[in-house]
Structure 1
Amino acid sequence: MPGPVSGLLARFRGIQRALLVALVLVPVLIVTLALVPALIVLPFLSSRTSQVGALIAQLAAWTGSLLRVSRDE
């Protein structure tokens, strides 16, 4: 039977996970906002369309990692 201490520790783990996700989310948002001009201009250059796909794939990978870290174990 779990005691009051284990419930308190579980609550702190949830708070710790939320703070970690918030800290990791800030750089991902900054990079995403910095890439917006490139994502607007590069598709119109015929030689750069593959780079746009690579940028979007990398952003999707970072977002997926962030979401996996934020889930409860």
Structure 2
Amino acid sequence: KLRADLVSGRRRLQLHAVCMPATARDTAATGATDATTARLTQDAERNYQRLRTEARDTTAQVNGLQQYINEQCH
């Protein structure tokens, strides 16, 4: 549901990010002298990685429970 809402524009996603100066290689490639690259803040990046780990762990737990139910109840 969230993904569909984001695609349709019904919802927006806000990230905490900082703009880092582009490298000389990046500015030469684009021709821009003040180009910047957005990056997640350190806190946002840690939170993102934690959420990915928790989602992976939860999926493993659900799969284990489903296997147990299938073995014990069928």
Taking structure 2 as the reference length, the TM-score comes to 0.42
Structure with bigger RCO (C-alpha 8 Å, 6+ apart): 1
Which structure is higher in strand share?
2
Which structure is higher in helix share?
1
Taking structure 1 as the reference length, the TM-score comes to 0.43
